[in-house]
Amino acid sequence: MNRVDLHGVAGFRFAAGAAGLKKSGRLDLALIVADKPALCAGVFTTNKVVAAPVQICAPRIRQGRCQAILVNSGNANACTGEQGRQDALRCGAIAAAALGIDEELVAVSSTGVIGAPLPMAKFEEAVPKLAAQLREDHADEVAAAIMTTDSFAKRYAVTGEVDGRPYRILGVAKGAGMIHPNMATMLAFILTDAELEGGFVDTALRQSVDGSFNCITVDRDTSTNDMVLLLASGAAGNAPIAAGSKAAGEFQSLLDEVLLELAKMIVRDGEGATKLVRIEVTGAASDAEARQAACSVATSSLVKTAFFGQDANWGRIIAAVGYSGAQVDPEKVDIRFGEVPVVKDGLGTGKELEAKATEVLKTPEFTVFIDLKQGSGRAYYYTSDLTYDYVKINADYRS
């Protein structure tokens, strides 16, 4: 359960400022700094067009230790070529110098306008100031500083216990669609004071990402700047949690919760979205096929406009399952909106139940259950509706 009273994690300090990267003058630059090098893992965009900060950051994270994250909004430093890489390196160097640490321990991350060079003078000026203002319990400022088109800052924190010692997991994230001039969809930084064994950091993060950020869609577009980092400070003082242990299972569920809740916040804040819809597929031939089917339904423009129209349009859903590539016998498919069955063995259940289902669609959050009756594969996806405001935000942003 979200602990809204938690604004920090032992072993980490935070600072954020307005460096003038956003024309609005809002917070646009942030530092997260660990007291000593933290264990770390990262998951990065699969887009082949990779922004400069990701090119610099990914190999550093793979070394397994990270002490600082420097992140800016307002400029993605993407499609900026060799100059972009030099600028990203320089950002890391400025932070390292200001913090007195090795620059290989600095992760750099950017989100915002694509194709424009980073205004380096602003970094030269602002980063040392931030380094001098680090404070505990200021994670909220970081969450605010990484926002682009987000309408609210995204933070989620939980507590656990191991060896009688309490620990925390706190995550901040941004994302609301891959929108120019704010190109980058999604950043998430997850911090814990639990001591973890080295290998577990990476596997734990990958498993949580798979069930959260990899199961959400606003508009199918994958950004050039996506990045999820997990840093573990070990300040809780527990014996290191090893993969496979009971403590690891508990840590994993908590981490899953933090990432899933952050992911759902991103969909809820999806550009123009008025609905958060869970698409749950069961009875597929395999989990992978369940995911294919769920993804196909969750990304269909016709399904998403029907959600906006509060229309229990199961025809669009069954058609999206049909072209998903998953094994399906149309005459076995069951579909429910919430608890209301609208399709039984591929046939509509009638006007009365369709009217009841419409009531479900009028709520802001609901689940569509799709049972394929082919096997035991299951998966879910979270999606938003496709609305006038989505078009407005993405077509008319200059007005």
Residue selected from 17, 119, 128, 330 as contacting its own copies according to rule CB under 8 A: 330
- Check residue 133 for interaction with its own copies (CB under 8 A): no
Alpha-carbon radius of gyration of the chain: 22
Q: In what order do the strands lie in the sheet with 377-384?
A: 216-217, 377-384, 276-284, 365-371, 334-337, 340-344, 347-348
Shortest distance, position 305 Cβ to its own copies, whole Å: 4
- Check residue 152 for interaction with its own copies (CB under 8 A): no
Neighbours of 79 (CB within 10 A): 15
Name the residue among 97, 77, 102 with its Cα closest to residue 87: 77
Do residues 297 and 321 touch, judged by C-beta distance below 8 A?
Answer: yes
Residue selected from 34, 106, 139, 321 as contacting its own copies according to rule CB under 8 A: 321
Which residue among 185, 192, 217, 349 is the active-site one? 185
- Check residue 352 for interaction with its own copies (CB under 8 A): no
Give the nearer residue to its own copies in terms of CB position, either 152 or 323.
323
Do residues 318 and 336 touch, judged by C-beta distance below 8 A?
Answer: no
Residue selected from 199, 323, 355, 365 as contacting its own copies according to rule CB under 8 A: 323
- Check residue 311 for interaction with its own copies (CB under 8 A): yes
238 is in an annotated binding site: no
Give the nearer residue to its own copies in terms of CB position, either 170 or 228.
228
Do residues 243 and 231 touch, judged by C-beta distance below 8 A?
Answer: no
Name the residue among 274, 291, 246 with its Cα closest to residue 361: 274
Among the residue ranges 3-11, 13-21, 118-126, 306-314, the one whose residues contact its own copies (CB under 8 A): 306-314
For residue 43, give both structure tokens.
């998951």
- Check residue 309 for interaction with its own copies (CB under 8 A): yes
Give the nearer residue to its own copies in terms of CB position, either 244 or 309.
309
Residues 6+ apart with CB under 8 A from 144: 16, 26, 27, 153
Q: Name the phi and psi angles at 332, rounded to 5.
A: -120, -10
Query: Which residues pair with residue 30 across a beta bridge?
Result: 16, 71
The question of whether 185 is a catalytic residue gets the answer yes
Dist. CA 391–CA 311, nearest whole Å: 20
- Check residue 132 for interaction with its own copies (CB under 8 A): no
Among the residue ranges 3-11, 100-108, 275-283, 328-336, the one whose residues contact its own copies (CB under 8 A): 328-336
Among the residue ranges 5-13, 63-71, 258-266, 340-348, the one whose residues contact its own copies (CB under 8 A): 340-348
Angle at 308 between CA 306 and CA 314, to 5 degrees: 25
- Check residue 17 for interaction with its own copies (CB under 8 A): no
Give contact residues for its own copies (rule: CB under 8 A).
46-50, 78-81, 114-115, 177-180, 183, 219-224, 299-302, 305-306, 308-309, 311, 313-316, 318-323, 327-328, 330-331, 343, 345-348, 386-388, 390-392, 394-398
- Which residues line the annotated binding site for substrate? 148, 174, 185, 271, 394, 399
- Which residues line the annotated binding site? 148, 174, 185, 271, 394, 399
